[in-house]
């Protein structure tokens, strides 16, 4: 029974990790919209900030995605 409780908690954490990834992906979309707007209204300082923010958000998505994959494998092993 303790294993079932642990699995349930792990699945809740996995869901939160997915939410974090989705939030980061949404941030990337919003940053892309600003970058697109800057094609019409150039602002070199803002472009530089948005490019850096885009890179950081992309890195975060990659990091969280890797954590999700690894955590999912651990859940799968416990589920057997």
pLDDT of residue 36: 97
H or E element in which residue 80 lies: none
Collect all residues with Cβ–Cβ distance below 8 Å to 24 and sequence separation of at least 6: 57, 60, 61, 64
pTM of the predicted model as reported, rounded to 2 decimal places: 0.86
Q: What is the total residue count of the chain?
A: 80
Domains of the chain (ranges, CATH numbers)? 2-79 (1.10.287)
Q: What is the pLDDT of residues 12-23, one digit of tens each?
A: 999 999 999 999
- Contact assessment for residue 27 and residue 50, using Cβ atoms and an 8 Å cutoff: no
The pLDDT tens digits for 58-73 are 999 999 999 999 999 9
């Amino acid at each position: 029974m303790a294993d079932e409780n642990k699995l349930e908690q792990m699945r809740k954490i996995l869901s939160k990790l997915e939410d974090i990834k989705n939030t980061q992906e949404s941030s990337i979309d919003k940053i892309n919209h600003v970058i697109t707007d800057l094609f019409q209204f150039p602002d070199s300082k803002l472009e530089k900030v948005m490019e850096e923010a885009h890179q950081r958000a992309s890195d975060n998505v990659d990091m969280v995605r890797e954590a999700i994959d690894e955590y999912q494998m651990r859940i799968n092993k416990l589920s057997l």
